Structure 1
């Protein structure tokens, strides 16, 4: 499905959008609910990744296909490895079979897990025979995706002795590790995180309570982008969000001051207001904005597209995990922004975008089976008409995305063929 996007006929002034629960929190809580069925979950995400996770947790034998869902691949690997009597083949899309999982498999094997590679060493599909893991100490490199670390922490309470995890080196995505530990604490599971050592205590039961999932901050990023592209005075309301969010992408509230967008929280509503134009002079346009996003790499695409649409340059670092996402997001950004006229360079861990004045119109943006490519480029329709290829890919994390843009009066039409 290809869509043609144009901005609203009249400027967006004031609108309210309800966004589904966080995919990150939902998948963590679903795994914990599988371990402790008395746990209740409210405002769970309706994303494809969460549906896949929910379905996979019910399987005890046979093949589990998680398609493009990287979080589900990591979390289910740890879950199945620790479930006595389970025997499954865990697989995914062709791209998923190119995404490394050796670090997590090695860690689980250190703990005594029975996991084999079905095809290529270090990559899915995996043959997993679940068993009780008797060992309780393991080490991991600290600069890996936090999902490997969280996968181990989430199954740790169900292990006989719990888990002591040592992280070697500089830790990546600390907020997502803290999110996992905070959710454990919320349901009564004790843990500690001191320097590079994390300890999770075993637990036979948890607090009989209902946990409400906060709305997804990664999804909010696209409305920050829309606000940044909009006129001064624009006011968007997003529900439901907390100033004390556990999600790493909550940093948006701070970063988007650079684009003239202010954030306020009131009764679980996040108010976005465009208060100033970031480019007031030629000097501002030539200033290179600098962002380090090791703790929030999922918003890099949104920020890069924002800078390009505003004619601003940026230097973004801390992006080493983007090479192994749904696509190589750095190369994908370079290719698609270049089509629009950008001057951009990328490496394995950073991108640099030069300031520029012109944006080509009616360019067709490829999305590479990556939901974030589609959604990061969509707000650019406020600056120029664009086509978004394979637009249905947004269902991976935000199925209501195009409907919500229509609520803001974006002009969206299906393109034949």
Structure 2
């Protein structure tokens, strides 16, 4: 499905309820599987979370997680400790190109029985669940934090807990802290001192409790972009968000301040308010928040300013190579973009080519990050249904604030 997007008048003052954080939901779904007394509210309605639910609840011999990278990492660890269960964990053709050797090696060092069925170091995996008795492991810290979180989430169920040493510069610390925060919230003893994370064996049972998942800050990023590209005075209200959020992408509130958007926290909501057009060049290290890089780059282009974004080496192993994809699609719109293995540099520009068709590369964030540019010029989004991976209601929410969205007549 291809869509044509345009905006004649944005409806300022609209309020939207954003689905629960995919990152929090997927962590809590795994913890709920380990501790069934845990009840969850406001969970994500994303494809990725639905894949997690189905995989955990089912008893299939083959589990296909399609494009869900988080599910692949978390479920690899989860199935490794499911004693007496044997599973083949597979995914899409792109998933079979995404490395998982670092996590598999770590789990094997703990005693896991995992084998590759095709290319060495990549899914699909054959996992024979067993009781893991080792508790010490070292891991390169400059890779996807999902490898680290996968180990942390199963740690309470390991016989001796887990002592994890991180080697090198640590990537995406907020996501690691999110995992540790959720573990502590259910009563697990977890410490993070310098480069060592220690988790004691968790309780066998916890008291019944309900946890409410905070709405997704990554999903909020697209509305930050919309407000930044709108007229002074524009406001959009989003629910439900906490000022003391566990999510690393809460950094949006600070980053977009310099792009003219003020964030007002009130009553479990955030109000995004465009206050000035006096915006400045962005030089940002997004090592801790790589998922918002695409949104920021497109916002800067829409505002006609340059930006230099670094700390993005993990984007090369996402649903697509996001750095190359950004360069390709922004260039089609008239941007001057240079990418390296670690970052992106965008030159300031004064015009945007209209009616460009944005390829999305089976990547939800490509579709959603480029959509706000419809405030500046009409544009086309290819394979628009890809947003269901993290935000199924995205196009409906855009329509509710004034975006005109039509099927692309040219297909």
Task: Give the TM-score normalised by structure 1.
Answer: 0.97
What is the distance in 2 between the residues matched to 1:264 and 1:364? 35
* Preserved contact between residue 10 and residue 402 of structure 2 (Cα < 8 Å): no
Contact 1:61 1:86 in 2 (8 A): no
8 Å contact from structure 1 (residues 118, 124) kept in 2:
yes
SS of the residue corresponding to residue 367 of structure 1 reads coil
Cα pair 1:60 1:87 within 8 Å, conserved: no
Match of 2:232 in 1: 232
2:313 is aligned with 1:301: no
Q: Distance in 2 between matches of 1:380 and 1:363?
A: 11
| Residue 328 (1) aligns with residue 321 (2) | yes
1:249 to 2:253 alignment: no
CA contact (8 A) 2:4 2:405 kept: yes
Counterpart check, 1:378 vs 2:374: no
| In structure 1, distance between residues paired with 2:220 and 2:128 | 39
Distance in 1, Cα, partners of 2:142 & 2:108? 20
Extract unaligned runs of 5+ from structure 1. none
Deviation at 1:61, TM superposition (A): 4.6
Distance in 2, matches of 1:206 and 1:174, equals 27
Alpha-carbon distance between aligned partners in 2 of 1:263 and 1:61, rounded to the nearest angstrom: 45
How many pairs are equivalent?
409
State the superposition RMSD in angstroms: 0.8
Distance 1:255 1:227 in 2: 13
1:150 equivalenced with 2:149 (yes/no): yes
The alignment's TM-score, normalised by the length of structure 2, stands at 0.98
For the residues of structure 1 that align with 2:405 and 2:282, how far apart are their CA atoms? 31
Structure 1 residues 345-371: Cα deviation after superposition (integer angstroms, max 9, x where no partner): 001110000001010000000000000
CA offsets, 1:310-348, max 9 Å, x none? 110000000000000000000000000000000000011
Give unmatched runs, 5+ long, in structure 2. Answer: none
Q: Is 1:354 aligned to 2:353, yes or no? A: no
Structure 1 contact 43–214 (Cα < 8 Å) conserved? yes
Question: Partners of 2:193 and 2:46 in 1: how far apart?
Answer: 34
**What does residue 105 of structure 1 align with?**
104
Partner of 2:187: 188
Q: Is residue 155 of structure 2 the alignment partner of residue 162 of structure 1? A: no
Give the equivalent residue in structure 1 for 2:45.
Answer: 46
Using the TM superposition, give the Cα deviation of residue 91 of structure 1 relative to its aligned residue in structure 2, in angstroms. Answer: 0.3
Secondary structure, in 3 states, of the residue corresponding to 1:245? Answer: coil
